[in-house]
């Protein structure tokens, strides 16, 4: 069983919450979200907000706060082989109320189908907030180009 090593990132002004499923091996090593250099998350968000892609963790944190984006994952702990979502078992969900009760969240988005699956199964029944599923920014989702992801992710700006 691996426990999620990254605390939620939010502040009282956060109004968008983006949830991944569970951090990759690289993200767990870095102890920060979307740490794999091939993940398109930071590039997509920077493009949408018209900013330079943040490079280091302090820049990423400042970027998220400046744009009122909260970040976490749906899974608190699970059994997983490497970074493969398809191997996830024995899921314990995160309690998102730590964010929703302390921030001004207007909309929740899930980054990919795995996050959506566990959000709908474990979190939505209690939280009673629907999440919008966006295509995964993971390099494993190679069918989507950066341009296609940017177009799909424009939803967060509405």
Q: At what angle do helices 57-66 and 41-48 cross, to 10 degrees?
A: 40
Candidate CATH numbers 3.30.1540.10, 3.40.50.10860, 3.30.590.20, 3.40.470.10; the one for domain 2-157:
3.40.470.10
Residues counted in the chain: 158
- The model's pTM: 0.97
> Quick check: helix, strand or coil at residue 9?
strand
Residue that the structure tokens 């091939």 belong to: 38
- Domain extents in the chain: 2-157
| 92: DSSP letter | E
Q: What is the pLDDT along the chain (158 residues), one digit of tens a residue?
A: 999 999 999 999 999 999 999 999 999 999 999 999 999 999 999 999 999 999 999 999 999 999 999 999 999 999 999 998 899 999 999 999 999 999 999 999 999 999 999 999 999 999 999 999 999 999 989 999 999 999 999 999 98
- Per DSSP bridges, beta strands 2-3 and 16-20 are unpaired
d(CA 123, CA 61): 25
């Amino acid at each position: 069983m691996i426990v999620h090593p990254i605390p939620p990132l939010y502040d009282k002004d956060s109004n968008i919450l983006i949830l991944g499923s569970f951090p990759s091996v690289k993200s767990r090593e870095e102890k920060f979200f979307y740490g794999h250099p091939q993940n398109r998350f930071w590039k997509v968000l920077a493009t949408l907000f018209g900013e330079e892609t943040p490079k280091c963790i302090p820049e990423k944190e400042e970027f998220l706060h400046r744009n009122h984006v909260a970040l976490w994952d749906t899974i608190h702990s699970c059994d997983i082989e490497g970074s493969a979502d398809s191997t996830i078992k024995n899921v314990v969900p995160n309690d998102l109320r730590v964010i929703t009760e302390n921030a001004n969240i207007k909309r929740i988005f899930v980054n990919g189908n795995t996050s959506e699956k566990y959000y709908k199964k474990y979190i939505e029944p209690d939280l009673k907030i629907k999440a919008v599923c966006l295509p995964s920014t993971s390099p494993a989702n190679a069918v989507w180009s950066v341009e296609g992801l940017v177009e799909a992710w424009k939803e967060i700006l509405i």
